[in-house]
Structure 1
Amino acid sequence: MSHAQPLWRRAVAEALGTGLLVTVVIGSGIAAASLSPGDIGLQLLENAFATALGLAVLILMLGPVSGAHFNPAVSVIDWWLGQRTSSGLSLRDLAAYIPAQIGGGIAGAILANLMYGEAAVSWSTTDRSAGHLYIGETVATAGLILLIFALAWSGRAQLAPLAVGAYIGSAYWFTSSTSFANPAVTIGRAFSDTFAGIAPGSVPAFIAFQAFGAILGAALVIVLYPNAGQAADDVVTPTHTGASS
């Protein structure tokens, strides 16, 4: 497996992308709660719309550097499916991507808090511990993995910014959990006691069911898209193939 960009640069891109994604999620949630007080449906619409657009832009901006995973679940499945064909992330890549994503997510939450005059860290008090929410996270994460690898396997990874943004935007509404579908984003959202927050005590179970959803999504990829691991280098979107600067 070969990558156009050195690992340190790809890790920086993953930290920046995940961080800005969390900033978009939390920042738009704070803005929505302020602009539309008392109307939870409108707040969710505003939050989902901003997140869908923001995610698409971040994939376009940073995908050429790192592939724009911004999600430990995506990175782990990319590594796992690519092993048999020596494509996708190596174990060394994975060891750099995951801490970068988690650290970036936490920094992104702090940035959003500070932009809106909140305390840098305010632990969320929004409890999200319920069985139906765990089902929602399983469905959201499985669908995300299936979508990403379907695009890569079929040679349509260039559509990932639009498709992944659209999927997350719609999953805000069709899943009971509002589609976190991302362990790093889940951890980051615990650092903000705002509209988009999640209580720290709810985080472990959310991540566990995201992991289960990722495994389920990977199983569906194997069933529906044979040899999908051969396209792991194109997840989420192809990195730049020219000479590295």
Structure 2
Amino acid sequence: MSLALPRRASAEFAGTALLVAAVVGSGIAAARLSPTDVGLQLLENAIATALALGALILMFGPVSGAHFNPVVSAVDWWLGRRAGTGLTARELVAYATAQTGGAIVGAVLADLMFDLPAVAWSRTDRTGGNLWLAEVVATAGLVVLVFALARSGRTAAAPAAVGAYIGAAYWFTSSTSFANPAVTIGRAFTDTFAGIAPASVPGFVAAQVVGGLVAVAALAAWYPHAAESADAVVVPHLAEEKP
């Protein structure tokens, strides 16, 4: 039996909030600790994000699956809708809403922890075809990874694998791999190292949606029965806990 939806949605809210707090907070710390070396700042930000993501999957995965990402949740719904696995449409709406709200709260929390204004719209423009292409690649790779792990029965590796992928994608993509519409929206609320200007958000989100569609096509070719394992994305989360 699936855990109650409010319980799962609250886990998605908290997990996404802590993920964005890690992204933004480590970016602020990196900028303060290494003010003259942008490369080192990015390295510090990437390592902290990758480690936090792995830990958060371990923390919240048994409750909600630890999607923390509307594209992952949407693909989970799309692939599982006919097989009777994955999220229902109602659950998808709840997950995406919780993830987006959590991302905003996470950015505000990070700002407050570093004694900055709770909300300051980012002035960092991130736009251009190369960045959008990078977001397509980053998002598609992430989605294929989590569904490949589920289909091949390797979800125990998800915390390390997903964290490693995102940490690496900070460096091999020109966009530094947002790969997540909720996180993208949340990062618009902070005018710090990890921020993105509100005007740049629609382009990134559109590219991430395209990345999700590319992933669906790739999964159809490489893992045609991925829908059967949609309940195990990012990690299994169906059984009620024993009293």
Work out the CA distance in 2 between the residues paired with 1:77 and 1:244. 30
Work out the CA distance in 2 between the residues paired with 1:226 and 1:131. 31
Q: TM-score, normalised by structure 1?
A: 0.98
Deviation of the 1:174 alpha carbon: 0.2
Alignment partner of 1:219 out of 217, 233, 243 = 217
Deviation of the 1:226 alpha carbon: 1.4
Q: Does 1:17 align with 2:2?
A: no
Structure 2: where are the runs of 5+ without partners?
A: none
SS at match of 1:84: coil
State the identity %: 63
Q: Which residue of 2 aligns with 1:99?
A: 97
Deviations 1:178-198 (A, max 9, x none): 000000000000000000000
Query: 4+ residue stretches of structure 1 with deviation over 4 A?
Result: none
Q: Does 1:67 align with 2:65?
A: yes
- Computed over aligned residues only, the root mean square deviation of the Cα atoms, in angstroms, reads 0.9
Work out the CA distance in 2 between the residues paired with 1:89 and 1:242. 16
Matches within 5 A, 1:41-80: 41-80=39-78
Q: Which residue of 2 aligns with 1:87?
A: 85
Structure 1: where are the runs of 5+ without partners?
A: none
Does the aligned pair in 2 maintain the 1:158–1:238 contact within 8 Å? no
Deviation of the 1:119 alpha carbon: 0.2
Work out the CA distance in 1 between the residues paired with 2:196 and 2:213. 23
Work out the CA distance in 2 between the residues paired with 1:158 and 1:63. 11
Deviation of the 1:201 alpha carbon: 0.1
Deviations 1:131-186 (A, max 9, x none): 10001000000000110000000001111100000000000000010000000000
Deviations 1:48-84 (A, max 9, x none): 0000000000000000000000000000000000012
Deviations 1:185-214 (A, max 9, x none): 000000000000000000001000000001
SS at match of 1:17: helix
Alignment partner of 1:27 out of 25, 28, 43 = 25
Equivalent residues, number: 243
Matched to 1:61, the amino acid is: M
Q: TM-score, normalised by structure 2?
A: 0.98
The 1:234–1:118 alpha-carbon spacing in structure 2 relative to 1, beyond 3 Å, is: same
